[in-house]
């Protein structure tokens, strides 16, 4: 794609500009995918995080590629069911009890966790780290756990920038046509070339076709649309 976008813009821009515009275009497609189907880039993790009674401020660093939390749960042993942790209504909920007793809660299998979390958020220490490959997100947990607990995370993996022709592209192959067309339009626009509008329209067409592919990822049992008020006859 780097070569194609460069050639389509007459090799008129510096290599860094070509990569920068491909990154812009790739992130646009990435966001369009999440808007169309929020579960597309889901990852599951049951090893990265453990709740600990001694963790400072009950603040935990999340996996490096996390950008959105989809699901969080905890359990004390591998023989019990996971207990889902609900997000806090606000930051105050997880700050007000940081120094209080953890309290007593039910350990019945499958029930809601007694914990809640705030986040993910980006603190000052991780917002700008020279040379760092990623910005690490964090969460805060309340109350303080009494024992070490395993944590199950389902999360959206973040967009990973392209830095060279050896970089890994996180988009599916089917989305690269629109990405390349958007990047070419951006490069031509830098030149003031009127062909930029032509490539932009082509990119929109390719994106629309790609999002149709994203929309229905399983066709084994497609969702059914019910008629309005169907099944409500008994109420009349």
Q: Can you spell out the DSSP letters for 140-203?
A: EEES--SS-EEEEEEEEEPP----STTSPP-S-GGGHHHHHHHHHHHHHHHTT-THHHHHHHHH
**Could you tell me if 85 and 140 lie in one domain?**
yes
Terminal alpha carbon distance of the chain: 61
Residues 28 and 46 grouped into a single domain? no
Q: Would you state the pLDDT for residue 231?
A: 57
Question: Of the residues 111, 127, 157, which one is the last residue of a structural domain?
Answer: 157
Both 176 and 138 in one domain: the answer is no
Within a domain: 94: yes
Under 8 Å between Cβ of 207 and 32: yes
* Length, in residues, of the chain: 236
Same domain, 144 and 50: yes
Residue 18 placed within a domain: yes
Beta-ladder partners of 73: 84, 152
Domain co-membership, 126 together with 59: yes
Q: Which stretches of the chain are assigned E, i.e. beta strand?
A: 42-45, 50-51, 59-61, 66-75, 83-84, 86-87, 116-121, 138-142, 149-157
* Structural domain harbouring 203: 2-38+170-215
CA-atom Rg of the chain in angstroms:
23
Question: Mind listing the pLDDT tens digit of every residue in the chain (236 residues)?
Answer: 999 999 999 999 999 999 999 999 999 999 999 999 999 999 999 999 999 999 998 999 999 999 999 999 999 999 999 999 999 988 877 776 554 444 433 333 368 899 999 999 998 888 876 555 578 999 999 999 999 999 999 999 999 999 999 999 999 999 999 999 999 999 999 999 999 999 999 999 999 999 999 988 888 887 777 776 655 555 55
Asked whether residue 225 is domain-assigned, the answer is no
Residue 236 lies in a domain: no
**CA 168 to CA 214: how far, in whole Å?**
20
51 occurs within a structural domain: yes
Indicate whether 53 and 144 sit together in one domain.
yes
141 part of a folded domain: yes
The answer to whether residues 34 and 52 belong to one domain is no
Examine the domain organization and report whether 105 and 121 are in the same domain.
yes
- Same domain, residue pair 50 and 28: no
DSSP-assigned beta bridge partners for residue 21: none
Q: How many domains does the chain have?
A: 2
Does residue 89 share a domain with residue 29? no
Q: Are 217 and 33 in contact (CB under 8 A)?
A: no
Q: Look at residue 106 and tell me if it is in a domain.
A: yes
In a domain, 21, yes or no: yes
Q: What pLDDT was estimated at residue 105?
A: 37
């Amino acid at each position: 794609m780097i070569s194609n976008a460069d050639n389509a813009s007459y090799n008129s821009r510096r290599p860094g500009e070509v990569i920068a515009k491909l990154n812009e275009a790739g992130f646009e497609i990435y966001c369009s995918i999440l808007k169309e189907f929020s579960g597309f880039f889901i990852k599951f993790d049951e090893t990265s995080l453990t709740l600990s009674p001694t963790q400072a401020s009950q603040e935990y660093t999340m996996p490096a590629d996390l950008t959105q939390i989809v699901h969080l749960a905890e359990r004390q042993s591998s023989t019990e069911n996971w207990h889902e942790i609900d997000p806090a209504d606000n930051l105050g909920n997880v700050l007000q009890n940081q120094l209080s007793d953890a309290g007593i809660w039910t350990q019945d299998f499958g029930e809601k966790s007694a914990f809640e979390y705030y986040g993910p958020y980006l603190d000052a220490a991780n917002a700008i780290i020279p040379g760092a490959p990623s910005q690490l997100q964090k969460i805060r947990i309340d109350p303080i756990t009494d024992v070490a607990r395993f944590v199950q995370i389902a999360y959206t993996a973040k967009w990973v920038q392209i830095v060279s022709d050896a970089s890994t592209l996180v988009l599916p192959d089917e989305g690269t046509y629109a990405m390349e067309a958007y990047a070419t339009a951006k490069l031509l626009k830098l030149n003031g070339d009127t062909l930029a509008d032509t490539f932009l329209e082509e990119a929109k067409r390719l994106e629309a076709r790609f999002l149709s592919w994203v929309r229905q990822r399983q066709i084994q049992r497609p969702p059914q649309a019910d008629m309005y008020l169907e099944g409500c006859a008994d109420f009349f």
